[in-house]
Amino acid sequence: MLRLAKKIFSTGIQTEILPMPQHEIEHLGRALQVEIANKFSRALAIRMVDAGSCNACELEIHAVNNPYYNLERYGIHFVASPRHADLLLVTGPVTKNMQEALLRTYDATPDPKLVVAVGDCAKCGGVFQGSYAIVGPVNEVIPVNVVVSGCPPTPVAIMQGIFAALQCVS
Amino acid sequence: MIENLLLYGLLLIQGLLLAFLAPLSIGWIKMQKAWLQNKSAPPITQPYAELKKLLIKQPLVAEQASWLFLMAPYVYFACLLSLCFVVPFIWITGLATAFIGVIVIAGILTLARIFLVLAAMDIGTAFGSLGARREMFIASLSEPVLLLIFLNASLLTQATHLNIIGYFFIVHKGLYPGMIFSLLAFILVMLAETGRVPIDNPATHLELTMVHEAMVLEYSGRYLALIEWGNAIKFIIYLLLLIVLFVPYGLSTSLGAGEALLSIIAVLLKLMVLIGLVSLIESLNAKMRLFKVPEYLVGAFMLAVLGILLTQLLGVGV
C-alpha cells in the first residue's frame, strides 16, 4: 500500500495539454464544454452498447478514460444503465442476437438522447458486411446522429464524434 | 420571544445550507480521487451540473412500476433531508436535535434504506433484487455497530441527544480511550454505509460488483436526481456525525457572530480533511469480496464492544 502511495505521488498529474498534432483535443475540449453547458448543463452521461463488435473499438473507447485523454475532466462520464444515459455509444455490426437488445436499450434511454455509432462495422458492416449473422449497420436499427469511422477509430476521433453529436441536437 | 424566533430562523437556515452544500462533498471527493489517479479533475461544482441535467431530462420508468417505485425516491430524500435539521453543522444544535435522539437517527437512516430496497425489488429485475439483498446483508451487520457506538457515547455523557453529547465533549476535553475504539469502528461503518470502496464502488459499471448502484439502475430523470442528492446528504451526515461524536471542538455554542464564523471555518476544514482521508482510503484499497464483508463488519463490532468495555472499566471519570 505504501509503495502504491509513493508511486501515485511521484507520478503526478498525467493529463496532458497535448502538443501540436493533438492540440485539437484541447480546442475540442473547450468547444465541448460550451456545447455541454448549453444542452446538458455541463454534464453528459454515456452508455456503451456493444452490438457485436470485435472489442477493438471498446479498447479505444476505454483509452478515452485514461489519464492522458481523460474525458471526465469535461464532465462526461460513463454510466451503468441506459436510464441514466444521455448518449448511446454503439459499436459493431448489429448482429441478429443483439438487435432486440439494442432496440430495448434505445427505448429505455430518456429524452433528449443522442446516438453515436463508432467504427467501420457500425458505419457499414465493415468486414462482416453481407454476413448471414448480421442485421446491418446501426442506422438500420435505431436513428444515428453521428458516425465515427475508423477500424478502430482513435480516441481523438471518438471525442470528435461525441462533440459532433452534441452540435446536431438543438 | 424575538430571540427564540431568531434562533429558530438561524437553525432553519443551517439545515437548508447543509442540504444545499452536500453535493460539494461529492464534488470534492471525486476531485481528490481523480488527482490520486494522476488525472486532472472536473470542477468541484460538477455534481450540481449533474443534478440540474437530471431535473430537465424525461423521467422514464418501467411499465411494471407500482406506486411504491415512484414514491421511494421522495421518501428517501425526505428522510435524509430531515436529518439535515438534526446533525449539528455550525451551531451545536440543529432545529430538531432536541427531540430526535441518536436512536431515532439510526431509525430514520434505516427507513430511507428500506424504501430504496423495496423499490429496487418492486421492478422485478434481476439486478435490482440482487442489489437490494446485498444492501440488507450489509445493513443488518453495520447498523448494530452504529447503535453500539451511539451507546458508548451515551454511557459517557448520560445523554442521547447529539447537542448534549457534543457539548459534553467540548466542555470536558480529554482523551477517552473508549471513544478511540468507537472512532475506529465508526470509520469502518461509515465506509460500509455510504457505499465507499472496500465495500462498494460508487463509480462502478460492472453489474456483478454493484451494491448501491444496482438498486437505482432503473431510475431516471428527477427520481435519480433525488436519489443522488440524497446520497450526497447521507455522506455529509455521516461525516458530521463523526465530527460531533469525536472531534466537536470549534462548534459554536452561542449565537455570537464571531463564534459562528470560527465554527464555519473549523467545520469546513474538518470536512475537507476527513474527505481527503476517505479518498485516500478509497484509492489505496481494492474492493473487498462480498463474503469478506461480514469479517470486516464483525471487526467493527468487536471494536465497538471493546470501546464500551473500556468505558465501563475506566469509568466516566468526570
> In this structure, are residues B53 and A86 in contact, taking their beta carbons and an 8 Å threshold?
yes
Cross-chain residue pair A8–B38, CB shorter than 8 Å: yes
Cross-chain residue pair B42–A8, CB shorter than 8 Å: no
Q: What is the pLDDT of residue B265?
A: 93
Assess whether pLDDT exceeds 70 at residue A170: no
Start-to-end C-alpha separation, chain A? 49
Q: What is the pLDDT of residue A19?
A: 43
Cα separation, B16 vs B21, whole angstroms = 9
- Interface confidence, given as ipTM, is 0.84
Judged by a CB distance cut-off of 8 A, whether residue B37 touches chain A is: yes
Q: How many CA atoms lie within 13 A of A156 on its CB side?
A: 9
Q: In what order do the strands lie in the sheet with A114-118?
A: A76-78, A44-50, A87-91, A114-118, A146-148
Length of chain A (residues): 170
Q: What is the pLDDT of residue B316?
A: 62
Interface test with B, best of A41, A79, A106, A169 (most B CBs within 10 A): A41
Measured CA angle at B145 (ends B143, B149), to 5 deg = 120
Domain-embedded: residue A14: no
B90 burial level (CB within 10 Å; 0-12, 13-18, 19+): buried
Domain-embedded: residue A6: no
pLDDT band of residue A21 (cuts 50, 70, 90) is: very low
> In this structure, are residues B201 and B288 in contact, taking their beta carbons and an 8 Å threshold?
no
Cross-chain residue pair B57–A74, CB shorter than 8 Å: no
Rounded to 5 degrees, φ, ψ at B208 are -70, -20
Assess whether pLDDT exceeds 60 at residue A20: no
Interface test with A, best of B30, B35, B39 (most A CBs within 10 A): B39
CA-nearest residue to B33 within chain A is: A8
For residue A91, give the 3-state DSSP assignment. Answer: strand
Q: What is the pLDDT of residue A42?
A: 73
Q: Which residue has the higher pLDDT, A159 or B142?
A: B142
Domain-embedded: residue A17: no
Start-to-end C-alpha separation, chain B? 35
Range of the domain at A154: 23-168
The b-or-e profile of B49-86 (16+ CB within 10 A means b, else e) is bbbebbeebebbbbeebeeebeebbebbbebbbbbbbb
Point out the residue among A14, A75, A109 whose CB comes nearest to the CB of B38: A14
CATH code, domain carrying A108 = 3.40.50.12280
Q: Which helix (H) or strand (E) holds A46?
A: strand A44-50
Tens of pLDDT, residues A137-153: 998 899 988 899 888 99
- pTM for this model (two decimals): 0.91
Q: What is the pLDDT of residue B255?
A: 78
**CA distance to partner chain A, nearest, from residue B35 (Å):** 7
Provide, as residue numbers in chain A, all residues whose Cβ is less than 8 Å from the Cβ of B224.
83-84
Position of cell 448543463? A41
A100 burial level (CB within 10 Å; 0-12, 13-18, 19+): exposed
Angle between helices B162-171 and B126-157 (to 10 degrees): 50
CA-nearest residue to B285 within chain A is: A1
In this prediction, residues A116-133 reach a mean pLDDT of 89
Position of cell 472536473? B42
Selection from A154, A152, A169, A165 nearest residue A88 by Cα = A165
Selection from B185, B237, B293, B210 nearest residue B18 by Cα = B237
What's the number of domains chain A is made of? 1
Cross-chain residue pair A73–B42, CB shorter than 8 Å: yes
Provide, as residue numbers in chain A, all residues whose Cβ is less than 8 Å from the Cβ of B59.
110
Collect all residues with Cβ–Cβ distance below 8 Å to A161 and sequence separation of at least 6.
Answer: A116, A118, A146, A147, A148, A153
Cα separation, A107 vs A103, whole angstroms = 6
Q: What is the pLDDT of residue B211?
A: 87
> Which residues 159-218 on chain B approach chain A with CB closer than 8 angstroms?
204-207, 210, 213, 217-218
> In this structure, are residues B125 and B218 in contact, taking their beta carbons and an 8 Å threshold?
yes
Point out the residue among B39, B60, B217 whose CB comes nearest to the CB of A70: B39
Cα separation, B192 vs A50, whole angstroms = 33
Q: What is the pLDDT of residue B252?
A: 85
Point out the residue among A80, A86, A112 whose CB comes nearest to the CB of B217: A80
For residue A125, give the 3-state DSSP assignment. Answer: coil
The partner residues of A114 in beta bridges, in order of sequence, read A87
Domain-embedded: residue A146: yes
Point out the residue among B35, B50, B206 whose CB comes nearest to the CB of A13: B35
Q: Which residues of A touch B (CB under 8 A)?
A: 1, 4-5, 8, 11-15, 40-45, 67, 70, 72-75, 78-81, 83-84, 86, 108-112
Q: SS3 breakdown of chain B: % helix, strand, coil, rounded to 5?
A: 70, 0, 25
Assess whether pLDDT exceeds 70 at residue A17: no
Cα separation, B305 vs B144, whole angstroms = 11
Query: With the CA atoms of A42, A48, A54 and A60 taken in that order, what torsion angle do they form, in degrees rounded to the nearest 10?
Result: 20
Domain-embedded: residue A48: yes
Cα separation, A86 vs A106, whole angstroms = 11
Rg (CA), chain A: 17
Stretches in chain B below the pLDDT threshold 70: 316-318
Judged by a CB distance cut-off of 8 A, whether residue B42 touches chain A is: yes
DSSP calls for B66-94: -HHHHHHHHHHHHHHHHHHTTS-SSBSS-
In this prediction, residues A77-103 reach a mean pLDDT of 91
Cα separation, A46 vs B107, whole angstroms = 36
**CA distance to partner chain B, nearest, from residue A44 (Å):** 8
Domain-embedded: residue A140: yes
- The mean predicted confidence, pLDDT, of chain A is 82
CB neighbourhood size of B284 (10 A): 14
> In this structure, are residues B314 and B178 in contact, taking their beta carbons and an 8 Å threshold?
yes
Q: What is the pLDDT of residue A22?
A: 47
